[in-house]
Structure 1
Amino acid sequence: MVNVEARLASLFEEVERDLGFSGAVLISQKRQTLFEGAYGLASRQLNVPNTVETRFHIASLTKMFIAMAALALVEDGRIALDRRPAEYLPSLSALDERITLHHLLSHTSGLSDVYDTPNPHYEALKAKHDGMDLLAYLASQRQASEPGDRWSYSSTGYLLVGYVLEQVAGTAFQTLLRDRVLAPLGMTNTGVDRVRRINRGRAVGHTFADGHFANAENDALSPFEEGPGELYSTVGDLKLWCEAVLASPPVAATTLQLMFTPHASIDAVRSYGYGWFLEPTMRFHGGHTPGFLSRITQYPERDLSLIMLMNASHIDPAPVLERAASLVAGASR
């Protein structure tokens, strides 16, 4: 593959120089790393550079892992996706009785998104650090549409699934995730990101405006100290994840296929599975929270995975990774 590493290096150097890219990237094909690199600073206050081992908050990339943990319990026969969440967690009895776990995982529950702003009630609840208060609040979220009627992105649903998984497994979500997904894949640098706990090696989130970086107001990364929270990870660990969903998943291939089945149409070319956006030749998901952006893009037929993690939330990674994928394709001709 002629000059692909040099071409990719030039691309990401350009993105760092022209746009202020701060983060790490890894591109792999057929289990081989084509390129990896780190740019910018993990902490601007301490002048600590990012490396390929730096841990980043990955925000909504976490949905992929919640979906995989759910499929593991489906495979065990411990949950069924056509059942109501309250059958497993009675605290959710206030949910519309038509909503199933499938609806929550496919963003077709019709529940409004708890992270939408303004949302003063949720902001007040964050300060209480009481998981059951959050459950009661989540269960009473406004129905923005009828269950199953249409696709509408809602993090509320994935939070609810996480709490159901905890209840069914009888253990903390991070323990379930470690035992059923992370450990089998060798992902030792991934876990639930608890904002008030020391996480050595994790980057600080930054914002960028008017040519200047600032520390992000990211105390909302994990609003409660317990329960299913968003994850941190590294590009190396996410390479293991990408390889697993392409060829060696922690569940049976028939179970994994549920993740990549188009359960809900978004537009003429895009649909949603469980934890992934799906297009004819490509699938992806991103994450965004104050100070952090992340994206995984895969081209399954090419066995190509592109991972971009950032601790500055001002660059759209999608077009950058599209350019990178084109460079790989051009070099392989």
Structure 2
Amino acid sequence: MPTALITGITGQDGLYLAELLLAKGYDVHGVIRGQNNPKRELVESLLPDVRLHHGDLTDTSSLLRALRDSAPDEVYNLGAVSFVAYSWENAQLTTDVTAKGVLNMLEAVRLHTGDDPTHIRFYQASSSEMFGKVQETPQHERTLLWPRSPYGVSKVFGHYMTINYRESYGMHASSGILFNHESPRRGPEFVTRKISRAVARIKLGMQDELVMGNLDAERDWGYAGDYVEAMWLMLQQEVADDYVIATGETHSIRDFLDLAFAHVGIADWTPYVRQDPRFMRPAEVDTLVGDASKAREVLGWKPSVTFPELVALMVEADLAAAREGWK
């Protein structure tokens, strides 16, 4: 039975990845920050077979203890301060966790494996936000990185540090440059979930309006459940490498609004949506769309959930949750 250790297991990717690995017969362990973490109960209820370890990406000694106690064959570093808008409000914390945390995890793995650096296969969650002010379209593994937020800058640091440890120490360390991937488990602060949750509540008469920022930003949106499979596939390769994971399609936030409101029978959403400058980014990333041909050719990976299916899935889940809240 292979063993895996996941940081960031309380997030949407961590939950989906843990489910995938358990289904494949893995012994799954997760690193969770703080003894009173409010999301611990969620993990324990959804994933009772996962063993949790206290750890913090800013504390290398705690990561070494988690590695010692779990003895993993694979490490998936998904932990991060991942809300882009928040990264401007607290750039230092974002840097400590999302950038330096990758270095701490890599160093902990290196120290734990000793003379056999390939004993643990390592996955780093890189991000399409690294492309930022895009220099070519679509974006692929060799596209120049030009991040436009403290989060994006931090992800670039972690990405190149992973490459450096692979080249310096021979570690089996891969990075997945994942474009936007969503699900009903996405936090309500993220724009897609903010929309799906508001649409459900507006339909049920529980909310009057949805306040938004830039409606013209375009993203390559996929389903998180598909994307965690790509993570696993990367660590099954004989040679570590970096891969863009994306659908190859771009849609605007207006497109997302169109589909979400149409799903509940509202053809014209303009009376319900108001823009507010407070929700505009200081430096916007206008358009992201990924070229995942390398992942298709090498990993045999392709997305299974379409953009309209993703929007419908999220709205339906939030409708069910809102109705359940009435009971």
Give the TM-score range, shorter chain.
under 0.3
Normalization by structure 2: what TM-score? 0.24
**More relative contact order in 1 or in 2 (CA 8 Å, sep 6+)?**
1
Structure ranking higher in helix proportion: 2
